[in-house]
Chains A and B, each alone.
Chain A
């Protein structure tokens, strides 16, 4: 390595010196002095970057976690009471979480019109939408021709349009909407589909009645990673 290369490398990363650079340094006084000066400057930079931390930060993070846990335990302790309330709720026609989620999806998709395209959406746009919903796709799910973020039941979701066998299929990934079991959905306009539980939240797949959505369900199985 030349002196110039060494100096550039050490400015990029003063703490990691490669073997060939180390050999050069053993024989070059000028570069050794330069490296020493850069490391000293780097030490000052590290000190300057270390901004003060508010007192009790770690404790507040742990407190928030324990409060969430306490609420869950409290919910468990009052499980029986909650069950009774739920039974009363059901008795009086109040929907449970799955029924409520189904209604929300059917309402969202009521006037859905998807355009069938086989041209894939650019990755940047797709990533931006997925990121907004806090998810990523970890395997190929086929052509995704459109994507947009949406809000369903106050939760951010990713609305994707994918190419099915006969036409467009709507896939809505809802990280913040839990369902207890898979349910059929049917919109006012005649679209049909399924709303299914996921490791985190749920996923809805909706299409025209002649579309075999099982294919799309299989494509998305294990494809979503929650970040």
Chain B
């Protein structure tokens, strides 16, 4: 049986990178994202004894991170801003392929309602049912949002600008 510190270290090593990526898309700023991830793990440490199933750890951490991010916004009373273009431009330093840039740009400009289910699925590994539960929407709505988000991204890859502008908030 692992002690608490070993379990915590394993969680950090396994999931901190994905949590940071998820937080970057939520916050739009790598430094703020790191603060949110630090706070997430601080809360995770306090509640670690309640995590019975290690297989649920990633989803549990992402749920904690989403709450931590929401708390940050409510404390600072800031508006929920779109992901700034700075983020999109900053990351071109590691991958300059035009497809990757276009996709990140498209993702940054997706409505929050569409972007977040996609991030939960791709980064968090959530199923559609889990996304619906996490976002407190119906399974049908989660399916539609994912379908439309991916439809837009696919259109961007195929150079279909008209298709890429079809996604609007439900």
Using CB atoms and an 8 Å cutoff, list the residues of chain A in contact with chain B: 8-9, 11-14, 16, 37-38, 41-42, 44-54, 57-58, 60-62, 64-65, 128, 131-132, 134, 156, 200, 226-227
- Closest CB in chain B relative to A86 CB, distance in Å: 25
Q: Report Cα–Cα, A156/B150, bound state, in Å.
A: 39
- In the complex, how many residue pairs between chain A and chain B have their CB atoms under 8 Å apart? 122
Decide: B150 and A58 in contact? CB cutoff 8 A. no
Mostly, the B contact residues are helix
When the two chains form the complex, which single residue of B17, B95, B104, B118 contacts A53, counting CB atoms closer than 8 Å? Answer: B17
Decide: A11 and B38 in contact? CB cutoff 8 A. no
Q: Report Cα–Cα, A61/B42, bound state, in Å.
A: 9
Determine whether B91 belongs to the interface, using a CB cutoff of 8 Å to chain A.
Answer: yes
Decide: B103 and A44 in contact? CB cutoff 8 A. yes
Given contacts A64-B38, A131-B70, contact A49 B43 (CB under 8 A): no
Determine whether B153 belongs to the interface, using a CB cutoff of 8 Å to chain A.
Answer: yes
Other contacts beyond A11-B147, A45-B122, A51-B30: 9, CB < 8 A? A11-B154, A12-B142, A14-B150, A44-B157, A45-B107, A45-B118, A48-B104, A49-B107, A227-B43
Decide: B13 and A13 in contact? CB cutoff 8 A. no
Decide: A58 and B16 in contact? CB cutoff 8 A. yes
Decide: A41 and B47 in contact? CB cutoff 8 A. no
Using CB atoms and an 8 Å cutoff, list the residues of chain B in contact with chain A: 5, 8-9, 12-13, 16-17, 20-21, 24-25, 30, 34, 37-38, 41-43, 45-47, 64, 67, 70-71, 74-75, 87, 91, 94-95, 99-100, 103-104, 107, 118-119, 121-123, 127-128, 142-144, 146-147, 150-151, 153-154, 157
B25 surroundings in chain A (CB, below 8 A): 49, 51
Q: Report Cα–Cα, A193/B104, bound state, in Å.
A: 55
Query: Which among A61, A131, A132 has the highest number of chain B CB atoms within 10 Å?
Result: A61
Decide: A48 and B107 in contact? CB cutoff 8 A. yes
Q: Report Cα–Cα, A45/B17, bound state, in Å.
A: 17
Decide: B123 and A49 in contact? CB cutoff 8 A. yes
Q: Report Cα–Cα, A223/B132, bound state, in Å.
A: 25
- Closest CB in chain A relative to B14 CB, distance in Å: 9
Mostly, the A contact residues are helix
- Closest CB in chain A relative to B143 CB, distance in Å: 5
Q: Report Cα–Cα, A57/B146, bound state, in Å.
A: 30
Decide: A12 and B75 in contact? CB cutoff 8 A. no
- Closest CB in chain B relative to A202 CB, distance in Å: 15
A46 surroundings in chain B (CB, below 8 A): 122
Q: Report Cα–Cα, A200/B46, bound state, in Å.
A: 9
Q: Report Cα–Cα, A74/B94, bound state, in Å.
A: 43
Q: Report Cα–Cα, A41/B37, bound state, in Å.
A: 29
Given contacts A51-B21, A131-B70, contact A58 B122 (CB under 8 A): no
When the two chains form the complex, which single residue of A11, A156, A226 contacts B47, counting CB atoms closer than 8 Å? Answer: A226
